[in-house]
């Protein structure tokens, strides 16, 4: 169950990261509210997950999910550059996330 909570926490990390961009420096009300709510949910779920997962593994997976998801959505929503190098490094992040999960010892 901790891994499921961690996955959901990572998805909410993507939400608050994208919300931060949409809030325009917290100058737009509803994107700002969305960002803060996503941050609270993400951190809350992460804190529950680390009760039974190693903190280094959980944090690395949480950050990795957020980084990969945010980078992909940045390319899709904000037309950020899509280059072979960026795709390669995102794939490396995915490999690292899977590796951390596989070696968590649970």
Whether the full predicted model's pTM is greater than 0.75, yes or no, is yes
Q: What mean pLDDT comes out for the span 45-73?
A: 96
- 73 touches 91 (CB < 8 A): no
For residue 105, name the pLDDT band (cuts at 50, 70, 90). Answer: confident
Instruction: Name the nearest CA neighbour of 105 among 56, 67, 63, 33.
Output: 56
**The predicted structure's pLDDT at residue 101:** 87
Each residue's pLDDT tens digit, 5-20: 999 999 999 999 999 9
Q: Encoding tokens for residue 46?
A: 């992460």
Domain range for residue 89?
2-102
Q: SS in 3 state form for 50-94?
A: CCCCCHHHHHHHHHHHHHHHHHHHHHHHCCCCCCHHHHHHHHHHH
In sequence order, the 6+-apart residues with CB closer than 8 A to the CB of 3 are: 49, 53, 101
Domain count, the chain: 1
Average pLDDT of the chain to the nearest whole number: 96
**The predicted structure's pLDDT at residue 104:** 81
Question: What whole-number distance in Å separates Cα of residue 80 and Cα of residue 71?
Answer: 8
């Amino acid at each position: 169950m901790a891994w499921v909570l961690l996955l959901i926490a990572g998805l909410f990390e993507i939400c608050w990261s994208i919300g931060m961009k949409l809030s325009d420096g917290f100058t737009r009300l509803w994107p700002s509210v969305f960002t803060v709510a996503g941050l609270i949910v993400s951190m809350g779920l992460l804190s529950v997950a680390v009760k039974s997962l190693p903190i280094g593994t959980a944090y690395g997976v949480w950050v990795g999910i957020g980084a990969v998801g945010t980078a992909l959505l940045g390319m899709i929503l904000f037309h950020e550059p899509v280059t072979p190098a960026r795709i390669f490094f995102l794939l490396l992040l995915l490999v690292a996330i899977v590796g951390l999960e596989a070696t968590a010892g649970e």
